[in-house]
Amino acid sequence: MGLDPVWLGVLIAVNLQTSFLTPPFGFALFYLRGVAPPNVATLDIYRGVVPFIVLQVLMMFILVALPELATWLPDVLY
């Protein structure tokens, strides 16, 4: 299909990282809930991760538009 496996692996890794912060199965959110003090509401945790989700989704779009960002270092090393 003409896809670079390194680029695809990086894109999948960023996508998985984003999935750990998004409901309904945001595992990182469950971990945060477990270590947060009782006075911190779950909704506060959800609101707190929104900027990080936006950054990760933006990074996925950038990687799709500019795949050489994910492949320049392996190209330099090999």
What's the per-residue H, E or C state across 33-64? HHHCCCCCCHHHHHHHHHHHHHHHHHHHHHHH
pLDDT at 1 over 80: no
At 15-58, the pLDDT tens digits run 999 989 887 778 888 888 899 999 999 899 889 999 999 999 99
Residue 15 lies in a domain: yes
Q: Give the chain's domain count.
A: 1
CA 10 to chain CA centroid, Å, is 10
CA 70 to chain CA centroid, Å, is 14
Q: How many helices (H) and strands (E) does the chain have?
A: 4, 0
What is the model's pTM?
0.78
Domain with 55, as residue range(s), is 5-72
Residue 37 lies in a domain: yes
Residue 59 lies in a domain: yes
pLDDT at 66 over 80: yes
Residue 55 lies in a domain: yes
